[in-house]
Each structure stands twice: as C-alpha cells, then as structure tokens.
Amino acid sequence: MASYYRRYWPRNITATILLLVVAIIVIRLAANRLRNGTRADDNDDFVPPQIDFPRHSDFARTLREVASDDNTVVIAVIDANYAEVALNFYASSIKRHGIENMIYVSLDEGTCDILAGAFPEMRHRCFLHKDISAASDTVLQQSRNYKEKTYLRRFFILEALKLRHNVIVTDVDMVFVGNPLADIKRTCGRCDLAIMWDGHQENYDGGLVFAKATDRTITFYNRLASYELSHGTGRLALNTALKETKKKKLALKVETLSTKKYKVGIEFFAHNSCPEKKAYKGVLVIHNNYIMEAPNKVFRLKECMLWDWDGFDGYFTNASRRYLTVESAGPRGHPEHQSLLNAFSLAKLLHRTVVLPYLECKKSKCNLLMRMYDHSHLHFIGRFNSVTAGNYRECTFLSNPRVPSAIKDSNSPMFHIAFRDDNTKVTSHGEPVRHLVPKDLNAGPTVREIFGWLAGRPERVIRFDSLTGWFSHINHVNILGENLVKIIREL
C-alpha cells in the first residue's frame, strides 16, 4: 500500500494543482467580463437582430418631412413599456419648446397608437419599425430584449447618418427645461459628436448624443457594432469605443456638453429628493436616470413637478375628482402604515383620491419613493400603482401649478378624528382644527359616523391633520382588498 501512494500520490497532487490553476484562470476571465458589463452567458446567446427594413423609403421620407433647415432630426426609440414616459417627454420637452424636427421610432405597433391618441400630430411622427419579441416586458438592463432594443437604436442612428441627416438621439426619460438644440449645435461647432458627460461615473452619458452626418461619424457607428458584441450594448460599449478611438488616434472629434447645463439624475435628484428652485438656474436638460423601472421614473418626475402630461383622464385637471389629504402620517415612532390604511379606507368610502403625506426618513421628511427605493424595494412603486389602480396623488400634487385653482382653493376645514388619550391641540400650523368625536373613543368611528360627518361635503379637498387613531370598526381588508393592505403594511 505504501508503494502505491509513493507511486501515484505525486501525480494526483500535480493534477490537482493544474486543475486549480485552470479554475483560477476561468474565474478571472469571468470576473473581467463582469467588470466590462457583461455576464458569461449574456453575449454568447445574443445574436444581433437581422434587420428587416423593407420600408427604408418610408423612414427616409419621414426624416425628410421633419428635418430642420440644417437637415437635423431628433430621434427617440421607444416601446410600450415606456409609452407613458414618452408621452410626457413629448408634452414637457418637445411640444412645450416648439421642437418640430422630432420623430419616435416605435418597436411595437400599439405604442404609435397610444401616442397618436394623446397627440394626433404624432400619427405622422411615429415610425413603426417592427414588433420585436416581448418588447413591452419589464426587463432588467442586461436582458436580451434590452440589448436588442439598444442595438436597433444604434442601427437607426446609422441609417439617418447615411441619409446625411444630423441626428440628436435622446432617451425619453429626459426633461428639456429649455430648448437645448441651439446650444448643442453651438457646442459642437466643427465636431463630429457632442455627448452628455456623467461626472459621477466619469464617462459619457449616451442618453443624449448629437451626431453629425460626417464620414468619420458613420465609420464610428459602424465600428460601435463590434463593441456592442464584445462589451454589451449601451453606455459601456459607447465609452469603450470612444476610448479606443482616442487611443488609436483615429479621426473623430468629440465635444462634451456642459455639466452645468446638462444634468444626470444622481446629481440633480440627490437621494431621489426634489431640488430647490435655484438648482434649475442655467439648466437646459435633466436626465431622469440612476433610477430603474418606468413607474419609479414617473413618480419622481411627478413629485418634482416635472411631469406635464395630463393623462387620458385628466391627471391634474379632472373636474369630477375629489381628494383627501393628511398633513402628517403621525409623530415620529408612530406606525405610519396605520395612518395610511385609515386614509385609503376613508377615501374609498367617500369616493375620493388620497394625496399622500410625507413620511419619516432617517433625518427628515421624505416621499414614498425616497422611503422605499432607498431601501432597495425596486418594484414597490410599480406594485403600489397596480393595487391602487393609480388612485392616489404624490405629496406635491396640490402645490403643482398644473392643478387648477378650482381644486386647490376648495378646501374643507382641518379635521381631526378624536381617539382615547388624544393629545391633539386645537390648532395645526396655526389653523383651527375641527374635532370629530366618535361615540366610542376606544374603538374609533363607525362607517355610519364617517358618512354622517363627511359624506356629501362640497369641497374638492377634505383635509385631516392626521389619522393616527385605531379604527377598529373599519375593516381595511374588506374595503381596500388584501393586496393593498399588505403593501401598505410594508412601510
């Protein structure tokens, strides 16, 4: 037996060492690919879509029809998942500033219909490419469909450049505070590309790019395809291609758009908060990025009063909608979910819409997005929208200039529903508070008492200082449904 080990053990040790070395090499290669923004299985199964473009002449004609005098077009590629964001971009940034040389390239048929339903002129400004598989699915940034969509985006830029159109390509989660077109062209001068700069990551933000129709730019976008295959699509591929172009001293002149005028989301919306008015001074463009999923992007723009589109049912202006507000979800340490459950139940009983109160965060008051997104509840807002059917409004709603005075100025007295051991003062922020006292202070109000106090009130807005009491006569699950009660309790 001893001779057996002396004969074979060294070989086993050698084989084991070799296997470990090979394993380390494989792990390092995989880690490098992850650092470059791809997973080992991402690009291996991603095959660039075979571009079937039978209506090339239609695309060329659409570009000719909308192009400005200097042959510039603004292009945004969209699908149904971002249709609502695209509608707001058109309302707040394109239509507001009278930009007429813009088209949407839609990757699914229904999105063009949605846009035209809101803005009839978009019927001639929305070019349908084709339905790509599951284009409307909510997908994470490194999924196959995301890659296909960004690959197609580069393709359409290249097609427009080959037709000798200068192209401003933009994401739809942009907000044009001012019209940036003249500034972009002035910045570029004799350049080939002008691109937003992300000071946080110290690289280019491909969400807004001005590409001149030069042979150098066309060559660059052709070369970019190979980087998309090796480095993944989107920002990483763009920055890698630009670095290689500079390293190899290839002829391509790139200008950087001013970081004072063109802001990325992490700088402008610090911790998903809304900046003060002075932060807008001199700003032309805000990129609503550094936040994932369309519902989160929409909530942030609405909370910061950067949302213009009134929706199909009058999000701001609906003349028949009534509201219920709560000044505070309760003192620090109070279970805020109880106040919100009371608010949503009262609103449902009274056929009103809840205007959310500010919540308590670590150091200050915060909105729902700040509370939940910062705690890594990535899908919370989307789930909340789904179970409420959107029947709520953000904290700043009644301060928004888009809300008519007929709504904002029609306010009830400040109400307070009393409960046992209630220490609420007779005033709130210097305003008298009208106390509603239930018969049973321990159990709280009954549905009949609530109707007797509040049903039929003519004011558009019924106000409460807080709703911190225990409403044991109110069955929240029966009124709101189990799903809404469950998600509110997550707070």
Task: Tell me what pLDDT residue 26 has.
Answer: 58
Tell me which fold the domain 56-279 belongs to.
Answer: Spore Coat Polysaccharide Biosynthesis Protein SpsA; Chain A (3.90.550)
Rounded distance, CA 214 to CA 211, Å?
Answer: 8
CB 446 within 8 A of CB 346: no
Go through 277-303 and write b for each residue having 16 or more CB atoms within 10 A of its CB, e for each that does not.
eeeeeebbbbbbbebebbbbbbbbbbb
**Residue that the structure tokens 């001012």 belong to:** 178
How far apart, in Å, are the Cα atoms of 87 and each of 78, 114, 417?
11, 9, 41
Spans of all domains in the chain: 56-279, 310-357+395-489
Task: Tell me what pLDDT residue 262 has.
Answer: 96
Q: Helix, strand, coil proportions of the chain in percent (round to 5)?
A: 45, 15, 40
Rounded distance, CA 340 to CA 491, Å?
Answer: 10
* Sign of the CA dihedral running 280, 283, 284, 286: negative
Rounded distance, CA 195 to CA 321, Å?
Answer: 43
Can you give the pLDDT of all 491 residues of the chain as single tens digits? 444 444 444 455 666 666 676 666 656 555 444 333 333 333 444 444 444 443 455 888 889 999 999 999 999 998 888 899 999 999 999 999 999 999 999 888 788 889 999 999 888 888 887 654 444 444 444 445 566 677 778 888 999 999 999 999 999 999 999 999 999 999 999 999 999 999 888 889 999 999 999 999 999 998 887 777 666 667 888 888 898 888 887 889 999 999 999 999 999 998 778 888 888 999 999 999 999 889 999 999 999 999 999 999 999 999 999 999 998 876 655 678 889 999 999 999 999 999 999 888 776 778 888 877 765 677 899 999 999 988 999 999 999 999 999 999 999 999 999 887 665 555 555 678 898 999 998 889 999 999 999 999 999 999 998 888 888 899 999 999 999 999 998 87
Neighbours of 199 (CB within 10 A): 12
Tens digits of residue pLDDT in 107-157: 887 888 899 999 998 888 888 876 544 444 444 444 455 666 777 788 889
Task: Tell me what pLDDT residue 378 has.
Answer: 77
**DSSP code string of 278-329:** GGGTT--EEE--SS-SHHHHHHHHHHTT-----TTTTTTT-TT--EEEES-S
Q: What stretch of H or E contains 63? A: helix 56-66
CB 441 within 8 A of CB 418: yes
Q: How does the average pLDDT of the chain come out, rounded?
A: 83
* Sign of the CA dihedral running 420, 421, 426, 431: negative
How far apart, in Å, are the Cα atoms of 426 and each of 434, 444, 453, 465?
8, 19, 18, 11
Task: Tell me what pLDDT residue 228 has.
Answer: 72
**Residue that the structure tokens 């991402």 belong to:** 42
Rounded distance, CA 244 to CA 159, Å?
Answer: 23
Q: What SS3 class is residue 264? A: coil
